[in-house]
Structure 1
Amino acid sequence: MLAGEQVVETSYSFSTQAPGPPERRTQERHVKILRVGVFVVEGRRELCLIRNISAGGLMAHVYSPVKVGQQVIVELKTHERIPARIAWVRDSNAGVAFDAPVDIEALLANPVTLDNGWRARSPRIEVDRAATIRVDGVPSLARIRDISQSGAKIETAATLVIDGDVVITPEGFRPIGAVARWQEGDRAGIVFNEVIRLNELIAWIKSA
């Protein structure tokens, strides 16, 4: 767990840009699983926790000093070495720009397995898509802010009942039955009643 805050899960984006610095947040974060990666800096191998990753780069919590412009090698999977450079540094976070875009679909299709043999949570993909959410049959507008095969984070003015049933219909997608797990103001987290097929999810994301 990172010092002074709860751990958030790794998020994915198909953008060819490297992620920017993290926002300053005061709200408590929900505990998730961060993907572990490796930086090779000046011949040293350093573990890092990857917060966000896009086709063009990543943002990571680092444990050794790095400098803007410094060349690094990033290892996201065994035997996969990605040349990159440090784009920005803020506190213990660093932004990394890949020398060439990576295949996000391949990363999503091969989620990391933990040392104890358990598989990490489904990768979370950042989106900004309209949706309709039904609570007790009453429809309300919503926006999906991130989504995985098993759930989503949304923004809506509707009041959700924790552990209550909802139906969400993302724009351009079919209705999905779900259960509300948390709500803080207009933001909420829902868990789908089914695991969405990865190729179906990626096709919807790319249809925007």
Structure 2
Amino acid sequence: MTGVETRSVSRDSLFLLANIRVEQGEETHRVRVRNLSDGGMMGEGNLRVKRGNRLQIELRNIGIVAGSVAWVQDNRFGIAFDDEIDSQSARAGNPEAHDDAAVVQRSWQHKAPNAPNPLQLRKV
């Protein structure tokens, strides 16, 4: 990993726990969430995953979110969610205390761009 910031979506550092299940597996693993954004998270724990593994993540006040492992380094890993979440909800201590009047503007900047049209590519 380099010191160059390549993210287009803001994220917040925090400390909370999540339950993760690797698809096709039955065991649930408890991991620490080190940072969380609407489009993904960084987790830390004794969970052996590889890039591309499909996961189901249970986050407080949000529920189960599907995603895939984007990177792995030692006991930390990045997860890209399939769909955006309201990451502020996970920070709320009590789900009933969540202010429904506060509307969260979601950013779709983390989505990958459409694949280029092969007919428009220039050969080098």
| 1:146-173 deviations in Å (ceiling 9; x for gaps) | xxxxxxxxxxxxxxxxxxxxxxxxxxxx
Measured in 1, the distance between the counterparts of 2:87 and 2:33 equals 14
Bigger share in strand:
1
- Give 1:56's aligned amino acid: G
Measured in 2, the distance between the counterparts of 1:93 and 1:85 equals 14
Deviation at 1:54, TM superposition (A): 0.4
- When normalised by structure 2's length, the TM-score is 0.60
- Give 1:101's aligned amino acid: E
| 1:62-108 deviations in Å (ceiling 9; x for gaps) | 21210100000001126810001000000000000000000123223
User: Which of 18, 21, 35 is equivalent to 1:37?
Assistant: 18
Question: Which segments of 5 or more consecutive residues in structure 2 lack a partner in the other structure?
Answer: 1-7, 95-101, 105-124
Measured in 2, the distance between the counterparts of 1:101 and 1:91 equals 26
Question: Which segments of 5 or more consecutive residues in structure 1 lack a partner in the other structure?
Answer: 1-13, 20-32, 113-198, 203-208
Paired residues for 1:113-152 under 5 Å: none
- The answer on 1:15 being equivalent to 2:9 is yes
Measured in 2, the distance between the counterparts of 1:103 and 1:37 equals 15
Contact 2:62–2:89 (CA under 8 A) maintained in structure 1: no
Larger Rg: 1
Paired residues for 1:42-81 under 5 Å: 42-77=25-60, 80-81=63-64
Tell me the equivalent position of 2:73: 90
Identical aligned pairs, as a percentage? 24
Measured in 2, the distance between the counterparts of 1:88 and 1:49 equals 16
Deviation at 1:111, TM superposition (A): 2.7
- When normalised by structure 1's length, the TM-score is 0.37
Equivalent position SS for 1:34: strand
Measured in 2, the distance between the counterparts of 1:101 and 1:79 equals 11
Q: How many residues align?
A: 87
Aligned-residue CA RMSD (Å) = 3.0
- Structure 1 78/107 Cα, relative in aligned 2: closer, same or farther at 3 Å? closer
Higher relative contact order (CA 8 A, sep 6+): 2
Tell me the equivalent position of 2:82: 99
Tell me the equivalent position of 1:27: none
